Amino acid sequence: MCFTRKYIKNKKNKINQVYPVSPKTFTELGKQILNEKLFCEYCKKHYPIDEFKINCNGCDKLYHCGFAGRCIGQKCSIEMSDGKTYRMGYCLNCVDLKLHINTDNTDQCLCKTCQNS
């Protein structure tokens, strides 16, 4: 009996092609993204993206309401490359509510990390 080697031809896979997207599709995609609603962790309701005010630095959740403000401590400030200072934002659950600055209607608070140092 004789054995022969048979070569199996590899099937060429289709090469993925990139098709241009029309500008009309971009505008539809933008409208679809803006119509998305996110969940507020404080009041437990859904709101549009543009109504959200803070992403809490302590618990890393999104808040539409129930935020204490931006921390005025030294550990929570970051100097940006353009010279502006960015301050971290916190929700009411991540700050000590016994401090008067955390319960004011101002946009300032003092987080627990900066309070203890």
Residue 95 CA to residue 17 CA, distance in Å, equals 52
Q: What is the pLDDT of residues 49-101, one digit of tens each?
A: 888 778 888 898 888 888 888 999 888 899 999 989 999 999 888 888 888 88
**Considering the entire predicted model, what is its pTM?**
0.65
Assess whether pLDDT exceeds 60 at residue 108. Answer: yes
The answer to the question of residue 13 being in a domain is: no
In a domain, 87, yes or no: yes
74 occurs within a structural domain: yes
- For residue range 1-14, list pLDDT tens digits in order: 556 666 555 555 55
CA distance 54 to 95: 14
Domain count, the chain: 1
Residue 102 lies in a domain: yes
Asked, for residue 11, whether it belongs to a domain, the answer is: no
Asked whether residue 16 is domain-assigned, the answer is: no
114's CB contacts (< 8 A; 6+ apart) are 71, 72, 73, 74, 75, 76
Domain containing 100 equals 37-116
